[in-house]
Chains A and B, each alone.
Chain A
Amino acid sequence: MTTDGRVLMKGNVAIAEAAIRAGCNAYFGYPITPQAEILEWMARRMPEEGRVFVQAESEIAAISMALGAAATGARVLVSSSSPGISLMAEAMSYLAGDELPLVLVNVMRGGPGLGSIGPSQADYFQATKGHGHGDYRIPVLAPGSIPEATELVPLAFEIAERYRTPVFVLADGIMGQAMEAITPAYRMPPRTEAPWAVTGARDRAPRVVKSLHLLPEDLERHNLHLAAKAAEISRREVRWEADGTEGAELVVVAYGTAARVARSAVEQVRADGLRVGLFRPITLWPFPSAELRQATANAAGVLVVEMSLGQMVEDVRLALEGRLPVAFHGRTGGMVPSPAEVAGEIRSLARATRVAADAAWGADPTGLIELQDEADVVTDEQGADPDPLSLVEEGAWWLHEHAGVAR
């Protein structure tokens, strides 16, 4: 502990301890890098607290155990990393159909397949659009730092129980493995009644926790009920952070570790006098679409930075509805963009948008379509887009987006 009360903690440990302090009754897991420390911490701490820890035979079994425990009304945490999360997809769908509260942490690593153990944000689609089969949505919280992770874990339990839904906490290998001196924001959300929980049918009719609705009419009714809950979550639980977006000519959009990198880059370019804002979604679903539209109201362009080949960028484009050109910069496979790399992207984009905004028809904007070689910045000499309108044309933007990753 430091003199100001901060504690040096690894992200995985901070997440695990935050769950314990939030009153987590049971943890089920299976070892996988880069989140094995969550399991190890729980193996030691949960018995100390008189709570449940089980190392399962697979991720499939771990989350199925969690489903059973959650069905009794217990507060349950499960964690894994990308390939393990794929195995948990089955039960995630059941949990959503069953309306069971549960928190699942994904400390993302590079994919597809066995991939790499490097940090990644390549499971954005999986977390926000998919995981299991069927017609449902679940909240996804993305901490931007280790202290924030300790804040979002109790919040995840709270949201899970308030809406009777599984909740994803989406972190990445850096957040899991890095150590920071933090003041943890531990919090124990109050317990709520669980009049649906299976506890043994004593002095009441038997209860069934299930997702089977054989009649399509019944399932449609059930899914509409889930959709109504999702709509309420979309209205009430959107979270984001906007830093210097007011009056910004460019807004960088990033979450998690990519947002930390982007923040450093934004600070660098602001020192050069560029008016650049940073918009960080904290809930990836519900996505802060209206808030992003507001934050970019005066901007000429948006740069999305991700540790993937571009997944959240689709939600950004959906949110902006073609109002603004949206560029993308990403690294993949466990690679992390550097602040200098992102700063270079911001500078070239700022130049390009300015030229595009100012130029007369047929003028020559700076190089939007050139692949980068050694330089982080697309220079004027490297090539020119003959048409300023190509800023919003599919092909030019595709090339521009991929410029940053083709190195």
Chain B
Amino acid sequence: MSATELRTIFERPALLADRSTHYCPGCGHGVVQRLIAEVLGELELGPRTIAVAPVGCAVFAYQDLMVDFVEAPHGRAPAVATGIRRVRPEAFVLTYQGDGDLAAIGTAEIIHAAARGERITAIFVNNGVYGMTGGQMAPTTLLGQRTTSTPAGRERIGTGSPLRMTELLAQIPGVAFAARGSVVDAAAIGRTRGYIERACRAQLNGAGFSIVEVIANCPVGWGLTPVDSLAWLRDRVLPEFPVGLLADRTGPPG
């Protein structure tokens, strides 16, 4: 090997569109979408994938991931994915949902898709606010957190405490795999990538429903710089939403 020969050690995944994302500077969505593109590429799932992008910032996933997409009404992605999965058993079906979508307006759809053991994979990006509409309270907003719709901060009684959807889902027998990761730093991102891969494999093995929640930052919605938003994520959000494996029923039935 000559000293001048170049070797590729990092590149854009083939399934990630060659364009700037629609997202705000510092937003976690871009990182999560890159991880999905990497994993789908590695598992050679691109040509088999039909993904579902519902309302909210998540909808723009169809511009960034080079796979077939269906846009879902707000919260309905797991139902839309169910319809796709049932008529296309050979497809790999993915939903890409935010926290307003999955944990508020789409609570029924995600719970029942999980209850049916629907062989779909949900990637759940939780950044604690409604980003697209300007940073209102989400079901995952922290207690005391000020948002444009909780100007005095969120309260346990009245505006409610943060919902831990993935813990809730993890107890359902139809759920094959459930885990929570984050985009707080390189190590966390690597770990999240591992969860996404395991969730995809759970679907491929026909083990049931799988979900990976990814705790992400929304600098604009939180009113912080990208750097400060990651510090806030580490210090404030992760203690409320600890990362880790929550359910793994992918093994042979006991």
By a beta-carbon cutoff of 8 Å, the part of chain A in contact with chain B is 25-26, 28, 52, 54, 56-58, 60-62, 64-72, 74, 76, 90-91, 94, 98, 198-203, 206-212
Contact of B88 among A66, A90, A199 (CB under 8 A): A199
Do A69 and B79 touch (CB < 8 A)? no
A207 vs B53: C-alpha distance in the bound complex, in angstroms?
Answer: 13
A212 vs B70: C-alpha distance in the bound complex, in angstroms?
Answer: 11
Do B76 and A61 touch (CB < 8 A)? yes
A395 to chain B, nearest CB (A): 44
Stretch of B44-52, B170-178, B206-214, B233-241 that contacts chain A: B44-52
A98 vs B67: C-alpha distance in the bound complex, in angstroms?
Answer: 18
Number of A-B contacts (CB under 8 A): 134
Name the residue on A nearest B89 (C-beta): A52
Contact of B68 among A25, A56, A199 (CB under 8 A): A199
Say yes or no for B66: interface residue by CB 8 A criterion.
yes
Q: Which residues of B contact A201 (CB under 8 A)?
A: 46-47, 49, 66-68
Q: Which residues of A contact B76 (CB under 8 A)?
A: 60-61, 64, 67, 90-91
Name the residue on A nearest B69 (C-beta): A208
Q: Which residues of B contact A98 (CB under 8 A)?
A: 71
Q: Which residues of B contact A210 (CB under 8 A)?
A: 62, 69-71
Do A66 and B83 touch (CB < 8 A)? yes
A228 vs B237: C-alpha distance in the bound complex, in angstroms?
Answer: 51
Name the residue on A nearest B112 (C-beta): A57
Do A199 and B83 touch (CB < 8 A)? no
* Size bin of chain B's contact surface: 35 or more
Contacts known (A26-B83, A61-B76, A72-B87); A206 close to B69, Cβ less than 8 A: yes
Contact of B66 among A62, A206, A209 (CB under 8 A): A206
Q: Which residues of B contact A91 (CB under 8 A)?
A: 73, 76
Say yes or no for B184: interface residue by CB 8 A criterion.
no
Contacts known (A57-B108, A61-B112); A208 close to B82, Cβ less than 8 A: no
Do A199 and B50 touch (CB < 8 A)? yes
B132 to chain A, nearest CB (A): 11
* 23 residue pairs bridging A and B, Cβ less than 8 Å apart: A26-B83, A28-B83, A54-B82, A54-B86, A54-B116, A57-B109, A61-B76, A62-B79, A67-B73, A68-B52, A68-B70, A68-B79, A68-B82, A69-B83, A71-B84, A74-B87, A76-B83, A91-B76, A200-B47, A200-B49, A208-B71, A209-B71, A210-B62
